[in-house]
Structure 1
């Protein structure tokens, strides 16, 4: 039985259950369970390993790769100031990619079995279990697929010598994204800027989930009109 008549058993592996929710999946996945328990996804222990990632794996794996590519552009003839500027531009460009992924892919509206299953794996699980610290950062295997995609895209967008540094800068931006994302969920910021980011992101989770897609910056939400409204504006509307 599927759709409204289906009930997910939280004591069993979740991934191949959620597709059966049909049209009721979106309501289910956006009703969070506020526990730090990390639910089981698969029966297979091997598959299960690849779904859990501790936060520090991201900088350990990807920062050396980023610096390798940044150095590549230097060895190809770019000066240090040029490399520094292009790295910053690459990181800034990542913030736009981050926004687009979050808005147009992570929040797709699904109702089919495989659509629901796919959405749950890439982002729905985070909204259902926002305090699960092992399913917050992107697993390296998944990130490697995305990295390969961007490397090929940057081969079209940039010259041979600027491609590596833009890619490396983008990887630095990605690491910052995953670290900020983890921190706004599990850290206790004292600086006002980080407090504001934490409030902004938790607002996306718990109040208005179709707004506020930026994680490391609110810039693109402002540019594209997806900044969340205030509670006062909600009441007046």
Structure 2
């Protein structure tokens, strides 16, 4: 299974000029916005005694793992859900369909702040309601840092040439999702979740002319 795509091109997502501008984001913007905020929050938490180094060593990695789970579920069950009507198909087109159609559009490779900020507010609000900042603060920072790693890796798989075996394997994993098996390979920052749940796949190997000739009807 594959989806139609246009290489090295971009298209319009919205007729409205303001919405169209908001749908585009420079790849550096999430890092410029979130890194100072989370580092300041994390530093304040340690300095004020709101959290501790020991709790941070436990809950930051748990936050990263939580994001990895969210990343997989959002990609598989929301981004690739098209629904049955024009509204749900339009939501799919905005959320992810455009990216599959124009995979090389660098202005739409990371999540716009208009989408990530409400999600961050929702997560931080739920954690605040639990009333345990000693673990909730480093846990939230871990989720955000996991998200930033995901954004960077997604951008890098499309626009950088990997130099390590890990990078090459991860890029092949994601490119297979785009150009051969869009119903497989939902992990972006990693491959192990797809391996764990059995949703991994590879691009079909090119068959030789001899193999193809064996399938042709004989005269």
Q: Give the count of matched residue pairs.
A: 205
Q: 1:38 matched to which residue of 2?
A: 10
Deviations 1:14-55 (A, max 9, x none): xxxxxxxxxxxx98xx211112x3212223221111010110
Return the alpha-carbon distance in structure 2 between the equivalents of residues 167 and 143 of structure 1.
14
Q: 2:216 matched to which residue of 1?
A: none
1:110 and 2:83 correspond: yes
1:221 and 2:194 correspond: yes
- Match among 14, 22, 43 for residue 71 of structure 1: 43
Greater CA drift, 44-53 or 82-91: 82-91
| Structure of greater Rg | 2
Deviations 1:198-225 (A, max 9, x none): 0000001111111110011112212221
Contact 2:55 2:134 in 1 (8 A): no
Return the alpha-carbon distance in structure 1 between the equivalents of residues 200 and 128 of structure 2.
33
- Match among 138, 141, 150 for residue 168 of structure 1: 141
Once the two structures are superposed, the pairs formed by residues 80-229 of structure 1 within 5 Å of their partners are 80-155=53-128, 159-228=132-201
Contact 1:70 1:169 in 2 (8 A): no
Deviations 1:170-192 (A, max 9, x none): 10110010000000011111111
Q: 1:61 matched to which residue of 2?
A: 33
Return the alpha-carbon distance in structure 1 between the equivalents of residues 80 and 13 of structure 2.
20
Contact 1:73 1:162 in 2 (8 A): no
Cα deviation for residue 141 of structure 1 reads 1.3
Cα deviation for residue 80 of structure 1 reads 2.3
Secondary structure, aligned partner of 2:157 = helix
CA gap of 1:32–1:47, structure 2 versus 1, over 3 A, is same
Contact 1:51 1:135 in 2 (8 A): yes
**Normalising by the residue count of structure 2, what TM-score does the alignment of the two structures yield?**
0.85
Q: Point out where structure 1 has 5 or more consecutive residues left out of the alignment.
A: 1-25, 233-237
Give RMSD over aligned pairs: 2.3
Cα deviation for residue 58 of structure 1 reads 1.3
Return the alpha-carbon distance in structure 2 between the equivalents of residues 84 and 73 of structure 1.
13
Secondary structure, aligned partner of 1:123 = helix
Contact 1:65 1:168 in 2 (8 A): no
